[in-house]
Structure 1
Amino acid sequence: MSYLGIDVGTTGCKVIAFDEEGNVRAWAYEEYPLHHPRNGWSELDAEEVFGKVVRCLRKVAEGIRHDPPVSIGISSQGEAVVPVDAEGRPLARSIVTFDTRGDEFVSLFREKLGEERFFAITGMPLSGIGTVNKILWWKKYAPEVFKNARYFLCFEDFLVFRFGLPPAISFPLASRTMMFHVERGEWSSEILDLAGIPPERLAQPYPSGTPLGEVPEKFAAAFGWGKGIVVAAGGHDQPCGALGAGVIQPGLAMDATGTVECIAPAIPHFVGGEAMWRNNLCCYHHAFPGLYTTLVYNFTGGVLLRWFRDQFGEKEKEVAACLKKDPYEVLLEGLPENPTSLWVLPHFTMTGTPYFDTRSAGMVVGLTLNTTKKEFIKALLEGVSYEMKLNLELLRNAGIPVERLRAIGGGAKSPVWLRIKADIYGVPVETLSVSEAACFGAALLGRKAKEDIRDFGALVCDLVRVREVYEPDPERAKIYEERFAVYRRLYPALKTVILQEGGMP
């Protein structure tokens, strides 16, 4: 049997078919463009996204022609929303997460509810990225769109609706809208009343893994499939990735390294309080039913190494081409064994948690004429890891200790970086047999819905196997702990410079 996992991201979508042992049977990926009609605006053409998902489904269907899928689960980017008519046709482009138009509506909730109350309801620190603020923008500036929209849907519920089922959204994705009462598991009447958004114009929320219905025969026939394909409530992409990495026990966390570095732990209960919302830490539903999660992240993340490759790695790219290797592999060969004497503040884009500072900038401290290229490269990896160690400390202070990390994403392919992380974090870092964790997590939820699995945790633990463990080296860990004390002072010092007259713009 095959189980499909769909992952709808900001710049592309992926569909993967897994067998009963968690092996990849077929996969397809399609990209789509982001549109930026004005400064600060970021949009997706939802019809184009749906078309690319269908293309991926067709390619995968061809690869599993003799073993059609029995279930579908969907992993989705957060916050992005599209207004649709009663037939599911988009009435405007989708406004995606980092579009800034929602910022002006933050004051409404700050004045009427306050940040502490807002967090207590939604589990989300108050900000402009929430779906509710994007809908309010249409209400104010595109009233015809707001008036004519039958539903305002995120991408999971948009796909469910276009598959031919009533619009349904998972608890984790509903949480990202900032309209969801996270502990009650329902839309918040308090927030919807303030926004003037009737709940019937939103999808029905369900716990992840809930069966939503079967793919209608008309839609399934387009791929050569028959009846009985169950669609499950899926989740937001990060919790789906955590599920796909087997992060379903307290003390365990996913460490996803791509363009963004993100850590997502499993939490047994909702964690509120000032230590969370003042540090921009969320708390919302995990894709594993009954658990919660939070996210700490650095927007620069793995893109820092890509920046170095593109700006200073011409020689390494030439060598890689000759040897038919990945340029990153060449860049990371021969790095110093011991910690460097450099400190890199990895704010080359903007910061992530806890600061959300758009004015910060990158910083490299400790350069001398004896600094080598390989030292500099290692320092970049150390800088990102120092930043995430800072976030891990914030989690610990909020009562969410992380004792082991499971690495996924591009960074999980680098033993060098994994050793650095283990030494800096002071906890073991594990690699996994599973690839494409977000799709796999979504596929697992589809399987849960199809087979009515009672001990879902046992299935996850059976299929997600640890491949290798990187333990902290005590001597290096001690040095890193001492140098981390210096790192902690970099951002406050830079912030002081920026705020001074004549500082950075």
Structure 2
Amino acid sequence: MRREDAPLVIGIDIGTSGARAVAMAPDFSIVASGAAKIADFSADRRDPVAWWKAVQAALGIVLDAIDRNRVRALAIDGTSGTMLPVSETGEPLSMPMMYNDPVADHIILDRIARHAPKESAAHGATSGLAKLLTFQRQPDVYRVIHQADWLMGHFTGLYDVSDENNALKTGYDPISRSWPDWIGETEADSRLLPDVLPAGSPVASISDDAAAAFGLPADTVIVAGTTDGCASFLATGADRPGDGVSALGTTLTVKMLSDKPLFAPEYGLYSHRIGDTWLAGGASNTGGVVLAAHFSDERIIALSKEIDPTRETGLDYYPLVKPGERFPINDPALAPRMDPRPDNDAMFLQGIFEGIAAIEKLAYERLEALGSPKLASIRTVGGGAKNPTWTAIRGRKLFVPFLPLASEEAAAGTARLALQGAMAAGVL
């Protein structure tokens, strides 16, 4: 088959600020992409109509760049913990609560704290379960669903289906693959919960209305998606137990595929189920926020050229901007360790690089101690990945292969799930 005739799938990512879409071939190559900002349609990022318009715009750019008849499947990811109550036809019955919107009702939070197992991801004021308990008070609620579920419903006409990753913070048990009985003990109305399918599973063929609206084949398969965080991991190409992904952004986040689930609530650590593997990870308070507290981006670039990454400074830093750490050490009072500060700024910057790299190493060692496989490889995302000096220092500390990214687009990770679903449905 000629490359220009190869079947394609679509992956869509909806984030806090906008939507992105990609068309992917079976060899994982991206043949088209598009993006749209939510702000172009509404000043309120909570406006679900604006979410949908941004998705339509991003998808439209992609579809205009390809032969629509080649599309076989489509999947969507959304921000984890963003939820809304809907009618049977998908009409929002209230303003959604975003992933970081807390529930202030202490009675609700106390019920969850009493009944949810300690390893459940449903604990906390921003959990999906807390939002379900809030939204079920609305009259005439058909389901309380996640952002990705609602958007997927626009393609299937079904507003009662979710995926295992989005459902995790709403109390779903990924080990038994079911909604556990204890959810009812919190006084949550279990009838309002969506049905849950594994990420990458075929859900239904595209609805007649959606097929006509987008000019897509009637047998296009709509596939269960995931969260934006899981999609970002999958986009990198990591797909085997022991594959790690480090995000060097404002904070340091490490994630690894494991052959067994890891749950350590004391570290805020839980596992998403990805096929027969498990994605576990944790977030430290160190990272780019520490660098920004001392140097501008331009100064970091200049000083990095003065550093010899093969020689250790001997500085033993635990770089933080203020007391408190989450992972790999859980200590809300942990003090930053940034002394002594040498007169040479390049040496000071190197000491920070070394300190963050040491925390990254400890984070992967912590995952291994909790039951993950031994770290086999690392892929790196975020701004820190672009600094070759820092990369060399990390390589000396971590001593595993640093592999190139397949993509940094979360939509590409969701497209990989669409490929999986297309193959399962026999349309690819």
* Common fold: TM-score over 0.5: yes
Q: 1:351 to 1:331 in 2, by over 3 A?
A: same
Structure 2: stretches of 5+ with no match in the other structure = 1-6
Alpha-carbon distance, 1:67 to partner = 5.8
Q: 1:232 to 1:125 in 2, by over 3 A?
A: closer
Q: Would the aligned equivalents of 1:18 and 1:443 in 2 still touch at CA under 8 Å? A: yes
- Tell whether 2:290 aligns with 1:284: no
Q: 1:138 to 1:75 in 2, by over 3 A?
A: closer
Alpha-carbon distance, 1:130 to partner = 1.4
- Tell whether 2:403 aligns with 1:430: yes
CA–CA separation in structure 2 for the residues paired with 1:350 and 1:447:
42
- Equivalent position of 1:297 in the other structure: 283
Q: Would the aligned equivalents of 1:30 and 1:53 in 2 still touch at CA under 8 Å? A: yes
Amino acid at match of 1:79: G
Question: What TM-score do you get using the length of structure 2 for normalisation?
Answer: 0.85
Q: Which has the higher helix share?
A: 1
> Superposed, which structure 2 residues align to 1:298-337 within 5 Å?
298=284, 301-305=287-291, 312-313=296-297, 316=298, 332-337=304-309
- Equivalent position of 1:503 in the other structure: none
- Tell whether 2:99 aligns with 1:126: no
Q: Would the aligned equivalents of 2:118 and 2:265 in 1 still touch at CA under 8 Å? A: no
Q: Deviations over 1:56-97 (max 9, x none)?
A: 011111121466422112222211112222222223332222
- Tell whether 2:162 aligns with 1:162: no
CA–CA separation in structure 2 for the residues paired with 1:363 and 1:125:
33
- Tell whether 2:208 aligns with 1:211: no
Alpha-carbon distance, 1:331 to partner = 6.4
- Equivalent position of 1:412 in the other structure: 385
- Equivalent position of 1:248 in the other structure: 239
CA–CA separation in structure 2 for the residues paired with 1:125 and 1:359:
25
Q: What is the aligned-residue RMSD (CA, Å)?
A: 3.1
CA–CA separation in structure 1 for the residues paired with 2:423 and 2:339:
55
> Superposed, which structure 2 residues align to 1:84-483 within 5 Å?
84-101=86-103, 104=106, 105-113=108-116, 117-119=117-119, 122=120, 124=121, 126-138=123-135, 143=137, 146-167=138-159, 168-177=161-170, 179-191=171-183, 193-272=184-263, 276-286=264-274, 289-298=275-284, 301-305=287-291, 312-313=296-297, 316=298, 332-337=304-309, 338-340=311-313, 341=315, 343-347=317-321, 351-353=325-327, 364-368=338-342, 370-372=343-345, 374-400=346-372, 401-432=374-405, 434-436=406-408, 438-452=410-424
Amino acid at match of 1:173: N
- Equivalent position of 2:4 in the other structure: none
- Equivalent position of 1:479 in the other structure: none
CA–CA separation in structure 1 for the residues paired with 2:172 and 2:306:
49
Q: Deviations over 1:437-478 (max 9, x none)?
A: 532221121112112289xxxx9xxxxxxxxxxxxxxxxxxx
Q: Deviations over 1:328-353 (max 9, x none)?
A: 75564433433343625235697443
- Equivalent position of 2:3 in the other structure: none
CA–CA separation in structure 2 for the residues paired with 1:49 and 1:348:
36
CA–CA separation in structure 2 for the residues paired with 1:214 and 1:306:
48
Task: Give the share of equivalent positions with the same residue, in percent.
Answer: 22
Amino acid at match of 1:111: R
Alpha-carbon distance, 1:206 to partner = 0.4
Q: Secondary structure at the match of 1:7?
A: strand
Q: Would the aligned equivalents of 1:102 and 1:130 in 2 still touch at CA under 8 Å? A: no
Q: Secondary structure at the match of 2:404?
A: strand
CA–CA separation in structure 2 for the residues paired with 1:164 and 1:419:
48
Alpha-carbon distance, 1:196 to partner = 2.5
Amino acid at match of 1:108: R
Correspondence for 1:31 among 29, 33, 37: 37
Question: What TM-score do you get using the length of structure 1 for normalisation?
Answer: 0.73
Q: 1:157 to 1:102 in 2, by over 3 A?
A: farther
Aligned length: 413
Q: Would the aligned equivalents of 1:299 and 1:349 in 2 still touch at CA under 8 Å? A: no
Q: Would the aligned equivalents of 1:267 and 1:291 in 2 still touch at CA under 8 Å? A: yes
Alpha-carbon distance, 1:28 to partner = 1.7
Amino acid at match of 2:56: V
Q: Would the aligned equivalents of 2:239 and 2:257 in 1 still touch at CA under 8 Å? A: yes
Alpha-carbon distance, 1:185 to partner = 0.6
Structure 1: stretches of 5+ with no match in the other structure = 318-327, 460-505
- Equivalent position of 1:80 in the other structure: 82
CA–CA separation in structure 1 for the residues paired with 2:38 and 2:350:
34
Q: 1:9 to 1:107 in 2, by over 3 A?
A: same
Alpha-carbon distance, 1:360 to partner = 6.9
Q: 1:376 to 1:450 in 2, by over 3 A?
A: same
